[in-house]
Amino acid sequence: MRALIQRVRDAQVAVEGEIVGKIGAGLLVFLGVGPGDDEDVLEKVLQKISKLRIFEDEAGKMNRSLLDLGGELLIVSQFTLYADLSQGNRPSFTGSAPPAIAEPLYLRALARAKEMGIPTQGGRFGADMKVTLLNDGPVTLWLEQQP
């Protein structure tokens, strides 16, 4: 599983002009599912994301997590995180999980984050989405968890 994590002041995702997910201060996570991923991998990723100490404390140091802050989470599915750029000029996406595997894990990510007490919004799996964000920092991190 791959996650591109961005600390944001706010972010939103729209499908066909309709806002389907919107958050204030917190994290925007683009989530890519690989073919071997399962709920155990997802749990590790969500635990890591929720506890990353990447928000500033009173002294201006990155010492607070999303859970500490009470921040929000916007998770957007993004199979292109598994793009293979090694051959030619057209990316290959054969390394990403097929929708039958990826969609249930994406939906589980949304549900599980909410179960963890994190105010969570999402995009729409498989849709042409328009994402708008105000990156805070900027702080952008890459997380990869193997099955």
**Which residues belong to the active site?**
78-80
Tell me the pTM. 0.96
Mean pLDDT, rounded, for 6-15: 98
Burial class (CB in 10 A: 0-12, 13-18, 19+), 56: middle
Q: pLDDT by residue (tens digit) across 95-145?
A: 999 999 999 999 999 999 999 999 999 999 999 999 999 999 999 999 999
Give, as one character, the DSSP assignment of residue 12.
E
Identity at 27, one-letter amino acid code? L
Distance CA 130, CA 4 (A): 16
User: How does pLDDT run across 28-84, given as a tens digit for each residue?
Assistant: 999 999 999 999 999 999 999 999 999 999 999 999 999 999 999 999 999 999 999
Look at residue 50 and give its three-state secondary structure: helix
